[in-house]
A and B are shown apart, each in its own frame.
Chain A
Amino acid sequence: MFRTLTWALAMAWRDSRRERGRLFLFAVAVAAGVGAVVAVSGFGRSVQKSISYQAKSLLGADMVVSSSAEFTASQERFLNSIGGEQAHEVAFASLVRPAKGGAARLVQVRGIESAFPFYGRIETVPQGSLDGMRSGRGLLADAALISQMGLRIGDAIHIGGLKTEIWGTLTEAPGEGFGVGMMVPRVYMTLPDIYRASLLKGRTMVKHHAYFRLPPDTDVAALVEQRADDFRELELGVETAKARELRMGRVWKNTAAFLNLASLLAALLGVTGIAGAMQLHLLGRTERIATLRCIGVSPSAAFLVYAIQAVGVGVGGGVLGAGAGAFMQNALTVVLSRFILLDVRIEPVWDIAALAVAAAGLVSFLSCTPAFIQLRHLSPFQALRPSVPGKKNTRKETSAWAAYTLAGAGIVLGSLLLAPGESWGQKSVFAAVCCGAFAILSALVTAGIWGTCAMARSGKSYAVRHGLANLRRPQNRSHSVAVALGFSVFVICFAALVQRGFEDKLLQPGEPDMSNVVLVDVRPAQVPAVARLLQSMGLPLLESSPVVSLRLADPAKPAKDEKKHPTSRDTKHESGWLGEYKATWREALTTGEKIAAGEWKTRYAGVGVIPVSVESGLAADMGWDIGTRLDFTHGGRPMKVEIASLRSVDWMQIRPNFHFVFPPGVFDELDGSFMLSTHARNTEQSGQVMAAVSREFPTVSAVDLGLAMSLVDDIARSVRGGARFLAGLMIVVGLAVLLASASASQTERLRECILMRTLGMPSKIVKTIFAVEFVAVGTVASFSGASAALGGAWLVGRYALGIPFAVPVGTLVAVVFAVPLFTWLSGWVITADLLKRSPMDVLRYGQ
C-alpha cells in the first residue's frame, strides 16, 4: 500500500510535467477563493478577539450603571453599597460653535471624573492634554470636529452657555463602540466644569453614568443577577464589560455576514469553477490511463495517481490561498478602518487555514468524481483502440449518478465547512444561502446562454453566429466562466445598489415638507420662541412632538414568550436600554407609520387603562401583542397601559419617531420637552439654524440629520470597500477560471482555428469569431450578475432595510461593460497564439 502510494505520488508529479502552468492556474482560482475565506474569517476572529481582549478597556470599567436623571440619594446609597471604586460621568448632546464665529455643530459631550477610565487610556494629541483638561484648562475634542470647524488647538469655543478653550485632540477613549454609534463627534470635559457652567440645566436627554472598578475576584455577572431587583426598583440600567463585549460582537457579526457570504461564494466559485476544467484535464488522460492499465497498473493505483492531482490542486491552491489570506487580513484592517474603531491585532489563524485547505482538497476531489468514475470504468483496451465505444451497463450509470451526487455533496460539504457560525444551524443557513445564490445565478447564466445561442440562429453575420454558437462548444466551460464572473458582478453591483439606496434615503435634501433638521430638548415654554426663530429665518416648523420619558416598571413581567426572545432578557438586565423609553402623544399617524394590528386610539378620556400604540418590531422582540398590559412609571407616578395597536414605523424616514405613542389626554404638556423639526434648503442654511439655536437657546440641540447621515454613509462606504475587496478577489477567481477553462479547451479551439484557416477563412473572421465568443461570455456574466443584484437589492431594500430602490446607473453600466471588455482582452491573449499557427499543424496535430 505504502509502495503504491509513493509510486502514485511520484507518477502524479511526473504526469503533471508540461501541465503545471495549467494546474497552477487551477490552483490560483482555488487560492483566490480560499484566500478570501481565510482573510474574512481570520479578520473576523481577530476583531472578536480584540473586542474580548479590550472588553474592559472598551467600557473603561468592570461595570457601568446608568440613569436618565441625576442619581438620587437612594440611588447613590445603592451604588455605594456595591463597593469598589466609582467614577461618575454625564453624557449629552449639545451644540458647539467657535468663539470667532462660524457654523455650530452637534457634539456628544462627556463630562468625566478624574478616576475614569479604570481600564484603557484616553489618548490625546499632544500627549498630556488630558492633564490640562482635568485641571480645568479646556476641553478635548475629536480631530474631525476641530478640522470641520476650521479651528486649532488653543482656540476658544462656545458650548452651551460656556466659553472655553480646545486644549487637545482626542484620539482614543474607552466607552466607545464601533459603527453608527460613533457618528457624532466627541467632546470631553471634566464633570465639575459641566456643573459649574450649569450645562445640564434645562436638558432632559442627559445620561448619568457611574463606572465601577470592582475587586479583582468579583463575579460581575453574578453581582448584577443578585441585585437585579434593586436595579429595577431604582430604575437603573447596568452594563458589564462582558455585556459590552457581546453587544459589540453582535454588531460586528451582523455586519460581517455579507462579507462572510461573499468570501464563501468566492471560495466555492474557485473550487467548483475549475472543477469542469479539472475534469477535462483528467479526461484528457484517458489514453495514458489505458496504457498504464495495459502494462499492469491496477485500476485503483491509476485512480490514485489522478486523485492525487485533483486533491493536490485543491490543497496546493488552499495553501497558497491561506498564505495570501493571512496577508489580506491586514488589507481588510485598512479597508474597514473607518468602521472598526478598534486596535485590531491580526493573529495567525492556523485552524481556519487548515480547515480551508482541507475543504479545498475535499471539494476539489469530490467535484472531480464524475471524471474519476469515467476513468475508473475505462477499459485498458482503449490504449489499443481509443475509439472503442464504452461499455454500457447499469452499474456504470448508477456510478455516474452517484458521482454527480458526490460532486453536489462536495459543494454542500465545502460550504458547511467554510461557512462562518458557531453552530451547525448557523453554518447550514449560510451554506443554504450560498448554494441558493449559486443556483439562482447558475439558472440566470443558463438562461442567458440559451438566449444568446437562440439569437445566434437568427443572426445574419456568419462570424457572429459562429462566435455565439461557440458558447455551446463541447467542453467550452462557458457556463462555469460566466457564473464565476457573474458573481463578481453581483457582489459589486449589489453593494453599490444598497449603498445608493441608503444615500437616497438619507442624504438627499428631499421635499420641502420633509424634515432634515431636528431640534431636541426644547422646553414647552421655549416652543413659541424657537418657532419664531425658525420663521424669522424663513424655515417652516414641520413637526412639533412632545416627548416624555417613561420607564417600564417591571420589564420582565410582560414578555409572553421570553424563550423565543432570549436577547430581550439580556438587554433588559444588562444594558437597561429597554428599561427607559421616549414616548409621545398625538391624534394621528405620521406618513412613516402604518397600523399593523389593533386600533389606533385618538383620545383618552382619563378613565380606565391607558391605551398605547407600540412599534411592531419592539413588540415582536418583547413578545407583546394587542391587549398586553404594561406597567410604566412616569416621574415616579405608576401608569397601567394596554397595547391597543401595533405600528410599523419607517425608521429610515428623517423625522421624530417613537416606540410608544399615546393618545392626547394622558400627559400634560409640561410633563416633558418638545422635539421640533424643520427643513433646511442646504447645509449652509442648516449651519445657520444650528448657530442661531446655539446662540439663542444654549440648552437646545439641533441635529443636522443630513450631516450626521453623511457619517453613516462614510461607514457604509468603508463596508462597501470590504465588499469591493472581495469582489476584486472574485474577479481574480473569474479570471483564473476563464484562463483555466480556455486552457483546458485549447485543443478543441486550436483544431477549430486551424480547420477554419485551412478552409480558407481569413484571420480577421477567425479573430471576430473568437472575440464574439469571449464578449458573449462576459456579457452573459454581466447581465446575469447585474440582474441578480438588481433583484436582490430590490428584495433586501423593500423587505429588510426599508430603503428605496435606486440604481447607480454609472456604476452598473461601467461594470456591465467592463466585464465583457475584460473577457475580450483575456480571450485575445489566449487565442493570439492560435492565429499564428500554420494550417499544416492541423494535420500534424491530428496525427
Chain B
Amino acid sequence: MSQGSSTSKESGSKVLLLVADGLCKSFSSGQAQLPVVRDVSFRLAEKTTCAIVGPSGSGKTTLLGLCAGLDTPSSGRAILFGHDLADMSEEERAALRLKNVGFIFQNFQLIPTLTALENVMLPAEVLGTATARKDAMDLLAAVGLVDRAHHYPGELSGGEQQRTSIARAFINRPRILFADEPTGNLDADTSYSVVSLLYQVHKLLGTTLVLVTHNIDLAKAADQLLRMEAGRIVPDLPA
C-alpha cells in the first residue's frame, strides 16, 4: 500500500473528515480493465486544505469522485464523515452530499437554463431551506455578482461563472468542498481572484477544501499535498 506522502502542517488532533483506504478504481475498455486509481490511502482532517496534483490522466479527478461518493471504488474504502460510502445507497450518498459536500467544477457546470441566482439557490431549494433566496443573494454579493444575479450562465464571463459556481458550492454551508481544477478554464488574473476567493471562504467558514489542480502555486498553499502519477500517490519531491 502506498502511503500518501505529504506535508501535514496541522497536528493530528483534529477530527478526521475523510479516510481513503486502499482505494482502487478500474474502467472497462473493451474486454480489458483499465486501472485508473491504484491502492490510494490518505486521511484528511476537518478545516484543512488538501491539494491533489499530477499530470493529466494520473487519476486525480477519479480519486476526487471516489472520495466525494460520486462513484464507487473497485476495491478499498472511502469513509466520509464516518460513513463508508460503499455501504450507502445512491439516495443516501446524495443526501450526504446535499447537506455536507460542496462541488466546484473545471467547466463550472452551471445549469444553462437557470439564472445565476437560481443556480446558487438550487442546493438550498432541494434541501428545503426557507431562506434560500436571501442566502443566495448574500453569497452572490459576497462573490461580487449581485448585479449579475438574474443573468443566465451564457451571459456571464468564465470568471463570473466560476464565482457563481463557488457561491452555489457554499450555499448549504458544506463541511467539505471538492474542487476539480477550479481554475482550469480561466486566465491567470481570473484564476488568482478565484483562488483567493476560495481560500477566503475556507478561512471564514472553516470548510475543508480538497482541490485537484495543475497550478503548483495553488497546491503549495494547501495544508496537505497529494502528488499522483499513474493512479498512485507518490512522494513529494523536496523543494
Contact = CB atoms under 8 A, between A and B. Distances in A.
Contacts of B95: 296, 298
Contacts of A290: 109
A838 B28 CA distance: 39
B111 A15 contact: yes
B123 interface: yes
B105 A291 contact: yes
Interface in A253-300: 287-288, 290-300
A168 interface: no
B61 interface: yes
A400 to B, nearest CB: 17
A7 interface: yes
A383 B105 contact: yes
A392 B27 CA distance: 10
A764 interface: no
B91 A298 contact: yes
B28 A385 contact: no
A16 interface: yes
B218 interface: no
Point out which of B70, B103, B127 has the most chain A C-beta atoms below 10 A from its C-beta. B70
A439 interface: no
Interface in B39-64: 61-62, 64
B70 to A, nearest CB: 4
B122 A295 contact: yes
Contacts of A389: 27-29
Nearest to A289: B111
Nearest to B102: A295
B61 A384 contact: yes
Contact of A297 (B28, B61, B98): B98
A14 to B, nearest CB: 5
A295 to B, nearest CB: 5
A847 to B, nearest CB: 9
A382 to B, nearest CB: 9
Interface stretch (B16-24, B112-120, B222-230): B112-120
A381 B94 contact: no
B113 A392 contact: no
B28 A384 contact: no
B143 to A, nearest CB: 17
A196 interface: no
A288 B91 CA distance: 18
Contact of B111 (A291, A296, A301, A392): A291
A542 B128 CA distance: 91
B126 A294 contact: no
A822 to B, nearest CB: 33
Contact of A296 (B98, B105, B114): B98
Contact of A384 (B105, B114, B123): B105
B123 A296 contact: yes
Contacts of B37: none
B125 interface: yes
B117 to A, nearest CB: 11
A14 B125 CA distance: 13
Contact of A7 (B65, B90, B103, B126): B126
A290 B70 CA distance: 9
A299 B91 CA distance: 6
B97 interface: yes
Given A17-B113, A297-B98, A384 B65 contact: yes
B166 to A, nearest CB: 13
B91 A300 contact: yes
Nearest to B99: A296
Given A294-B70, A299-B91, A379-B71, A385 B113 contact: no
Interface string B51-87: 0000000000110110010110000000000000000
B101 interface: yes
A501 interface: no
Nearest to A18: B113
A714 interface: no
A3 interface: yes
B202 interface: no
Interface residues of B, number: 39
B180 A295 contact: no
A295 B97 contact: yes
A294 B109 contact: yes
Contacts of A295: 97-98, 102-103, 122-123, 126, 168-169
A696 interface: no
Dominant SS at the A interface? helix
Nearest to B61: A384
A843 interface: no
Nearest to B64: A384
Interface residues of A, number: 32
A380 interface: yes
Point out which of B101, B111, B125, B180 has the most chain A C-beta atoms below 10 A from its C-beta. B111
Contacts of A15: 111, 113-114
B112 A18 contact: yes
A290 B68 CA distance: 13
A19 interface: yes
Interface in B172-188: 172, 180
Given A288-B111, A296-B94, A388 B27 contact: yes
Contacts of B99: 296
Given A7-B125, A381-B70, A384-B65, A294 B90 contact: no
Contacts of A379: 70-71
A427 B64 CA distance: 56
Point out which of A290, A291, A384 has the most chain B C-beta atoms below 10 A from its C-beta. A384
B27 to A, nearest CB: 6
A205 B105 CA distance: 92
Contacts of A392: 28
A299 B90 contact: yes
Interface in A288-317: 288, 290-301
A313 to B, nearest CB: 16
Nearest to B103: A294
A388 B95 CA distance: 23
Nearest to B106: A384
Nearest to A296: B98
Nearest to A20: B113
B113 A291 contact: no
A16 B126 CA distance: 18
A380 B70 contact: yes
Contacts of B111: 14-15, 288, 291-292
Contacts of A385: 61-62, 65
Contacts of B28: 389, 392
B71 A381 contact: yes
Nearest to B123: A295
Contacts of B65: 380-381, 384-385
Interface string A631-673: 0000000000000000000000000000000000000000000
A528 to B, nearest CB: 91
Interface in A56-86: none
Contacts of B29: 389
B70 A384 contact: yes
Contacts of B97: 294-296
B109 A383 contact: yes
A296 B61 CA distance: 18
B113 A297 contact: no
B153 to A, nearest CB: 11
Given A292-B122, A294-B97, A295-B126, 19 more contacts: A3-B128, A14-B113, A16-B113, A17-B114, A18-B112, A291-B109, A293-B70, A293-B94, A296-B94, A296-B126, A298-B90, A298-B94, A298-B95, A299-B90, A379-B70, A380-B70, A380-B94, A385-B61, A392-B28
> Closest 8 CB pairs between A and B?
A296-B98, A296-B97, A17-B113, A291-B109, A298-B94, A381-B71, A381-B70, A381-B65
16 contacts: A15-B111, A16-B113, A288-B111, A294-B68, A294-B109, A295-B103, A295-B169, A296-B99, A296-B123, A296-B126, A381-B62, A381-B65, A384-B61, A384-B65, A384-B105, A385-B62
Interface of A: 3, 7, 10, 14-19, 287-288, 290-301, 379-381, 383-385, 388-389, 392
